Structures are given as C-alpha cells and as structure tokens.
Amino acid sequence: MVNVTDTVLFTLVHDFFKVYLPNERKYSANTVRAYRKALDLLFDYVKVQKNVKLNEITFEMIDSKILAGFLDSLENERSCSVSTRNHRLQCIRAFYGYCAKMESTAIVHALEIKKVPASVTQKVLVEHMSERAVEAILKAPDIATKKGLRDMFIMMFLYNTGARIQELLDIRLKDIRLCKTPTVVLHGKGGKTRTVPLTGKITEHLKRYLDAFHPHEDSYSSRYLFYVVRNDGLKRMTEDNARRLIHQYGVAARNICAEVPDDVHPHLFRHSRAMHLYRNGVDLLLVSQWLGHSKPETTLIYAHADTELKRKAIEKAIPDDSAMKPFTDSERFTVDDEDLLRQLCGLR
C-alpha cells in the first residue's frame, strides 16, 4: 500500500468516485469518468508544478493560482476549448464542494477554489464540414489494411449515427441489431439511451468490419465494438486514441481537398451530419431527437448557423459600391435563438 501524505484528501477522492457519484448521485459511468478525468489531469499538473509524486500531493498545494494555471494549460497546451475548460472547472468545484460537506477542514480549500471564475464563452457559428470534406476524409484511410478498414469505419459511423465519441466507443456488440431494420443503441449523457437506425450503406460496412474484427462473437456479446489490444487483452479504445487517428486523417485529406478544416476532431462529424440533415429538409425537432439533445432548443444552433452562412453569402455577392450594401449589415440580419424559436413555433 502506498503511503500518502494527506490521508484526508485521498480518502475523500476515493469516497467521491466510489460512493458519492455512483451511489448517492446515481451518475452514469460516463459522467463519473468525466469527473475523474478532470481531477486526474489536475493532479498531473500539480505533480509537475510542485515536483512531487502523486501520493505527496496535499490540499495545501492546490490553491487558486495553481488551479488557474492548470485551466490555462488546458487551453494553451492541450488545445481544449473554453467550454471544456469550464467543464473541468465545474467537475473540480463539485469535488471540493463534496469535500467541504464531508470534512470541515476542507472548507477553506473549497473557498480557495471558488476564487477561480469560469471563462466567458463567445457565441460562434457551429463548426461543421462540407459534404465534399467528409467524403475526402473517409477516403483517406487505406481500407486494404485492417487498421485502415477500422479507422474508416469509425469515422463513417460517427458521421452516419451522429454519435458523440464517448457514445461510439461505449458501443458493445449486444447494442447492435442487424435485423430487417438495423439499429444501434447509443448510451448518452446522464444515463440516457437512444436507438439510431442504420442505413443500408453503413450496415454493409458494419458487417465487413464485424467479419474482420469480431469473427467469432455472437450478437449477445458484451465486447466493445471498437477496441485496442493492450496487455494481451482487448480493451475499450480511448477517446484520445480516436481523436489522434481522426486528426491524422484530416491532415492527410486536407492535402487533397481544401475544404477540409485544419483541425478535424470527432465531434465535427456529429455537427456536420446534423447540418447536412437540416439543409436537406429534415425537421429540427427530428434532428434534436436523433442527436439525443435533452432540450430541443439546443438544436437551434444549426438553424442559426445556416442563417448566418446565407447572410454572409449575400454580403459577399453584393459589391461594396452597390446601393444595396447598407442593407446587408450584420446587425440587421443577425438572428438570435429567441427569434428562431419564435419562428419555428409559429409565433412570428
């Protein structure tokens, strides 16, 4: 057993992840994993900054200055978005809030953590790819190889199902139904599940993938659909592993198609598919249900993005010296979420 310098800290860490989150709060395994990732990354940062081992970390080492530096490193060194930064902070605050309730001596440390504010997020157009860009990326892997076949299918599956990367990697063989109308059950945020239909094209590739990677498994198997071989066993592929391989294919595809973004990541396939469905006339409510959004208004980002793209195209098409130019200003044509909601609901 490793001796720890601060037994109170690590006892609370244990109880937070093993008792409080799963048993008392009834959080899903995926949610617990997100909280664990945040605290694990913070501890790794403290180890480097304080030049200590994990078991030597104490409450006193983690003050507002260290936490602020950690959050900055997420953005600057790990290229995390502001929303990811804020989510990590939210997870760490939750842990310290638990500590304050369970141990009176931890209250002062929880107050110290509260000094670090969340970053302000700016509203930006939803990032997505054109259909040409998606096609170029899917053609990047060499499907004559087993790895290329797997990698291409991962990206195709992300695009065709609109799955989040965590949902994709959590799929087990028993979640797939290859019947008359093939489907896959996705396990989303907060323990929510949804069933997504599989089209004929993706089903064909799925069968080919299963023959190559799961030749002896039946439809009731609990084995992960996507796995890696580690320590002489088949383990769930990690999100970081999937992000790396997708980014590499994005870089390769950009050399062929200029429409491919500089940074291709898993969530880009989800946004792209939703945008393409919306532009092809699929109702936003159906897109919302398909994506597994708990609030239908979340899906309005796609309508807002499409409106903005059309406005910018009109602005670009009108010469600067045209008499119509003053009527194409951004403020005049910017539509916020409330306006869109009213229009979609028939209030305007």
How high is the pLDDT of residue 65?
Answer: 96
Please tell me which residue, 32 or 344, carries the higher pLDDT value. 32
What's the average model confidence in pLDDT over 19-47?
92
What's the average model confidence in pLDDT over 114-119?
93
pLDDT over threshold 90, residue 170: yes
Weakest mean pLDDT among 170-174, 251-255, 284-288, 299-303: 299-303
The SS3 assignment for 172 reads strand
How high is the pLDDT of residue 192?
Answer: 79
How high is the pLDDT of residue 295?
Answer: 58
Contact 158, 274 (CB under 8 A): no
Packing angle of the helix pair 29-50, 64-76 (nearest 10 deg): 110
pLDDT over threshold 50, residue 72: yes
What is this structure's pTM? 0.59
How high is the pLDDT of residue 255?
Answer: 93
pLDDT over threshold 90, residue 111: yes
pLDDT over threshold 70, residue 335: no
Cβ atoms within 10 Å, residue 68: 14
| Residue 80 confidence class, pLDDT cut points 50, 70, 90 | confident
pLDDT over threshold 80, residue 276: no
**Structural tokens at position 22:** 């799963």
How high is the pLDDT of residue 56?
Answer: 93
| Residue 318 confidence class, pLDDT cut points 50, 70, 90 | very low
Beta strands across the sheet bearing 176-177? 176-177, 183-187, 193-197
Residue 221 and residue 171: Cα distance in Å, rounded? 11
How high is the pLDDT of residue 304?
Answer: 54
Average pLDDT of the chain? 83
